[in-house]
Chains A and B, each alone.
Chain A
Amino acid sequence: MSILEAREVSKIYPMGTTNVTALDKVSLAVGEGQFVAIQGTSGSGKSTLLNMLGGLDHPTTGEVFFSSKPLGPLTKKEMARYRRYSVGMIFQGFNLITTMTAQENVGLALAFAGLRGGQRRKRADELLDRVGLADRLNHRPSELSGGEQQRVAIARALANRPKVLLADEPTGNLDSTRAHELLGLLREMVTKDALTILMVTHDHELATSFADRIVLMKDGRVVNGSDG
């Protein structure tokens, strides 16, 4: 059974007089514990699809299901809870809060879940230890390398124990060695911790070496949705 599913999802952006169809009836199902890579040219709708699945945006038509439950009927507040507890997201640009340390960045996600004081710090330290940053707790993003920043982002994304991690070109700003290390970590999380990952990447080599399955997108459509 799939944990995350897009069914006939379309996203149309009105642009002046014309409409831009970013997604055109995309259907995609991700099974629990899978590591799926999405590949496609720039502008093919990969980020748009990921944002729908991550609950940051609503489809124009179609529906997204998480554990077979549709996201459409959720209130704004329930959507916030969905983003907090059900899925974690990481981005090419890391999107860490630059004025906060690694520990504070991870702690912020925990704070939104109501975790306080020592408990929160302990959990943040555990998470940062898990991504190999036990000695970088009090570093700010500017004092960390790209790879390290993305690890902080992973720790933050997984803070409230989501089952799914959505990664939008996580290695886009990393050199090949750091990219391999990072995907090694993600692969390990899928294997060891039964995490489900849906990752957008340009890099076919990385996709084939680490993902269970590759989805190809073109002009807002899934070209091939077969198991890899």
Chain B
Amino acid sequence: MLSIMSFIDILHLALRNLRQAKLRAVLTTMGVVVGVAVIVTMVSFGLGLQGNMLARFKALDLFSEIRVFGRSLGNMAATTKDRGAGRSNEPSERRQGRLRPDNSPTRILDDTAVAEIAKIPGVAYVEPHISFAVYVRSNGRVSTQFASGVAVPNSSSRFQEFVAGKMISLPNTDEIVISERFAKDFGYENFPDAVGKTVELLAPLDEKKADKDEQSSADQEPANFFGIPLDDQAPDEASPEGLVTQTFRIAGVLKTEVREGPGQGGLRGLLPTSDIYLPLRTARAWTLEHRSPMGQVALELARGSGALGDSDTEGYDSAVVRVLDPVALTDVRKRIADLGFGSFSIVDELEQLRTVFLILDSVLALLGGISLLVASFGIANTMIMSILERTREIGIMKAIGAEDREIKLIFFVEAAVIGLTGGVIGTLLAWAIDGIANRLAYRFILKPQGASYVDFFSLPPYLSLGAILFAVVISILAALYPAARAARIDPVKALRHD
């Protein structure tokens, strides 16, 4: 025979005690319910915020891309700290914030370097970045636009979705893809209307007489090229205005923004966006042919100072490196730095972001913790009241052979039952609050803006279980003093017949 009271019997006694003061037990439990609901709602909101952010970065390819920077022409040309060169004026750069490399590059990012980087294990592809401002004519309208070179074929997610048409078919065609904005700006009513239409890039006959407008935007555009074969360049035509034009055909209209899922509203990848994408080599040739006066000056200075050989090219301003597995990103970056290039990855920002979220989550949990602390006082109060009422009963139990340990256990189990019940109901309540808040946010904020449903909260099992466990532990801690006091009851006094 086991001479120890079974847990079932202790549980029975504890439940019986709770039943005897039902209202009090319910009110005490309510305190725990509120405390746990606050904790879980708060923390699930913090986690949700974090999760949504990470999912967004992931959906936008930001975890698998590294932006690599080579030594720029401006850097080589200027002998004092150059504030103009290297500053980006592209709209998407401004939107994404300035992407600064971690260390200043010592090497020129040319085709050899691109090939070297492409050989680093874990690299899926390297896409050099060329971007320039240019006057464009299409559908009878003219305006300045930003154009970028794009590798063809291209596997990055940015070039997977089109609202009309398709991707540029071959690296050497005169096809381009345009953004939705471009299509709208140039008066194409429907996106499919734009497909197949022509776009003319305009340049002066003699680039040294480039007009002022182009100069002001192009002088801040260091991505220029020099000294590469021009064999695949389309023939320029002289226009009636005395300008050189190069004609392209619109192959497709890009679905510029992510409209569905966690990435909605964002731009994809680290590559700056443009409104016109033309094949990389064509873009290269264009920048070489129609170099801006500022770019020309920088090139001459760089060559003069000996930083650049007389026949050397200045290389690409930057390139986007896509890794096969985001886990390998840090290693790849190290290899890139070893090669003498600067790089930027969103992961850098992520570390800071993690710290911010840790603080946010802690503050939110603390707020919840305080409400649970208040609830624990309720538990202690209930227990002490119960002891006062049950003094004789406890005396009887001791007189018939209950050990102190068993008396204490009854109280701990009582508290644990309150904590467990409150914890479970509180978690369910938080779950309901999350759901309602999500629905309200969708109905009144997201839907009117045309956005799709977003779950603002993250309620992982460990949070629910952790909160319940926490509630139980806090409850038991609250019962520590009352239980000790119950065990100290003097049976002689408790049983005195008055």
A residues at B contact (CB < 8 Å): 51, 54, 56-57, 76-77, 80-81, 83-85, 88-89, 91-93, 95-97, 99, 108-109, 111-116, 156-157, 159-160, 168-169, 172
Contact B396 A83, beta carbon cutoff 8 Å: no
Contacts of B406 in A (CB 8 A): 112
Contacts of B393 in A (CB 8 A): 97
Q: Which of B2, B4, B399 contacts A83 (CB 8 A)?
A: B399
Q: Which of B6, B9, B392 contacts A95 (CB 8 A)?
A: B392
Contact B3 A80, beta carbon cutoff 8 Å: no
Which residues in window 476-491 of B have CB below 8 A to A?
490-491
- The answer to the question of B20 belonging to the interface, with a C-beta cut-off of 8 Å to chain A, is yes
**B6, chain A: closest CB distance, angstroms:** 6
Q: Which of B20, B401, B402 contacts A85 (CB 8 A)?
A: B401
**A102, chain B: closest CB distance, angstroms:** 14
Q: Which of A77, A108, A116 contacts B400 (CB 8 A)?
A: A108
**B270, chain A: closest CB distance, angstroms:** 68
Q: What is the CA–CA distance of A77 and B392 in the complex, to the nearest angstrom?
A: 20
Q: What is the CA–CA distance of A113 and B400 in the complex, to the nearest angstrom?
A: 10
**B226, chain A: closest CB distance, angstroms:** 93
Q: What is the CA–CA distance of A51 and B392 in the complex, to the nearest angstrom?
A: 16
- Can you give 13 contacting A-B residue pairs, CB < 8 Å? A80-B402, A85-B401, A95-B396, A109-B400, A109-B401, A112-B406, A113-B3, A113-B401, A114-B1, A114-B3, A114-B4, A115-B1, A116-B6
Contacts of B392 in A (CB 8 A): 95
In the complex formed, the residue of B with least CB distance to A172 is B497
- The answer to the question of B214 belonging to the interface, with a C-beta cut-off of 8 Å to chain A, is no
**A26, chain B: closest CB distance, angstroms:** 16
Contacts of A115 in B (CB 8 A): 1
Contact A56 B491, beta carbon cutoff 8 Å: yes
In the complex formed, the residue of A with least CB distance to B19 is A99
Q: Which of B6, B399, B403 contacts A56 (CB 8 A)?
A: B399
Which residues in window 366-405 of B have CB below 8 A to A?
392-393, 395-405
- The answer to the question of B16 belonging to the interface, with a C-beta cut-off of 8 Å to chain A, is yes
Q: Which of B396, B404, B490, B492 contacts A80 (CB 8 A)?
A: B404
Contact A114 B399, beta carbon cutoff 8 Å: no
Contacts of A84 in B (CB 8 A): 400-402
Which of the four size classes fits the interface of chain B?
20 to 34
Which residues in window 446-498 of B have CB below 8 A to A?
490-492, 495, 497
Best-buried of B4, B20, B401, B490 by chain A (most CB within 10 Å): B401
Best-buried of B1, B396, B397 by chain A (most CB within 10 Å): B396
Contacts of A113 in B (CB 8 A): 1, 3, 401
Contact B1 A112, beta carbon cutoff 8 Å: no
**B495, chain A: closest CB distance, angstroms:** 6
Contact B5 A80, beta carbon cutoff 8 Å: no
Q: What is the CA–CA distance of A44 and B454 in the complex, to the nearest angstrom?
A: 81
Contact B495 A95, beta carbon cutoff 8 Å: yes
Which residues in window 382-437 of B have CB below 8 A to A?
392-393, 395-406
Contact A51 B492, beta carbon cutoff 8 Å: yes
Contacts of B402 in A (CB 8 A): 80, 84, 112
Q: What is the CA–CA distance of A191 and B276 in the complex, to the nearest angstrom?
A: 112
Q: What is the CA–CA distance of A92 and B496 in the complex, to the nearest angstrom?
A: 10
Q: Which of A81, A85, A114, A169 contacts B5 (CB 8 A)?
A: A114
Q: What is the CA–CA distance of A56 and B9 in the complex, to the nearest angstrom?
A: 24
Contact A92 B497, beta carbon cutoff 8 Å: yes
Contact B492 A112, beta carbon cutoff 8 Å: no
Also in contact, A83 and B401, with CB within 8 A (given A91-B495, A95-B396): yes
Also in contact, A77 and B403, with CB within 8 A (given A91-B497, A112-B5, A114-B3): yes
**A95, chain B: closest CB distance, angstroms:** 5
Shortest Cβ-Cβ A-B pairs, 8 listed: A84-B401, A114-B2, A93-B497, A80-B403, A109-B400, A111-B9, A83-B401, A114-B3
Q: What is the CA–CA distance of A159 and B399 in the complex, to the nearest angstrom?
A: 13
Also in contact, A80 and B398, with CB within 8 A (given A56-B492, A91-B495, A93-B497): yes
Q: Which of B2, B5, B400, B404 contacts A156 (CB 8 A)?
A: B400
Q: What is the CA–CA distance of A89 and B8 in the complex, to the nearest angstrom?
A: 26
Contacts of B399 in A (CB 8 A): 54, 56, 83, 89, 95
Contacts of A88 in B (CB 8 A): 400
Contacts of B1 in A (CB 8 A): 113-115
Q: Which of B5, B8, B398, B401 contacts A160 (CB 8 A)?
A: B401
**B290, chain A: closest CB distance, angstroms:** 94
Contacts of A168 in B (CB 8 A): 497
**A19, chain B: closest CB distance, angstroms:** 17
A93-B497, A95-B395, A160-B401 known, 17 other contacts, Cβ within 8 Å? A54-B399, A76-B403, A76-B404, A77-B403, A77-B404, A80-B401, A80-B402, A83-B398, A83-B399, A83-B400, A89-B400, A99-B20, A111-B5, A112-B400, A112-B403, A114-B2, A114-B5
Q: What is the CA–CA distance of A113 and B397 in the complex, to the nearest angstrom?
A: 12
Contacts of B8 in A (CB 8 A): 116
Contacts of A157 in B (CB 8 A): 400
In the complex formed, the residue of A with least CB distance to B496 is A47
Contacts of A80 in B (CB 8 A): 398, 401-404
**A100, chain B: closest CB distance, angstroms:** 8
Q: What is the CA–CA distance of A96 and B20 in the complex, to the nearest angstrom?
A: 16
**A185, chain B: closest CB distance, angstroms:** 19
**A147, chain B: closest CB distance, angstroms:** 17
**B445, chain A: closest CB distance, angstroms:** 55
Which residues in window 1-25 of B have CB below 8 A to A?
1-6, 8-9, 16, 20
Best-buried of B2, B9, B392 by chain A (most CB within 10 Å): B9
Q: What is the CA–CA distance of A116 and B20 in the complex, to the nearest angstrom?
A: 23
Q: What is the CA–CA distance of A80 and B487 in the complex, to the nearest angstrom?
A: 12
Q: What is the CA–CA distance of A54 and B396 in the complex, to the nearest angstrom?
A: 13
Q: What is the CA–CA distance of A85 and B492 in the complex, to the nearest angstrom?
A: 19
Contacts of A81 in B (CB 8 A): 3, 401, 403
Contacts of B404 in A (CB 8 A): 76-77, 80
Q: What is the CA–CA distance of A95 and B491 in the complex, to the nearest angstrom?
A: 11
Q: What is the CA–CA distance of A21 and B485 in the complex, to the nearest angstrom?
A: 28
Contacts of B2 in A (CB 8 A): 114
In the complex formed, the residue of B with least CB distance to A84 is B401
Contacts of A57 in B (CB 8 A): 490, 492
Contact A112 B497, beta carbon cutoff 8 Å: no
In the complex formed, the residue of A with least CB distance to B1 is A114
Q: What is the CA–CA distance of A99 and B3 in the complex, to the nearest angstrom?
A: 25
In the complex formed, the residue of B with least CB distance to A97 is B393
Contacts of B400 in A (CB 8 A): 83-84, 88-89, 108-109, 112, 156-157, 159
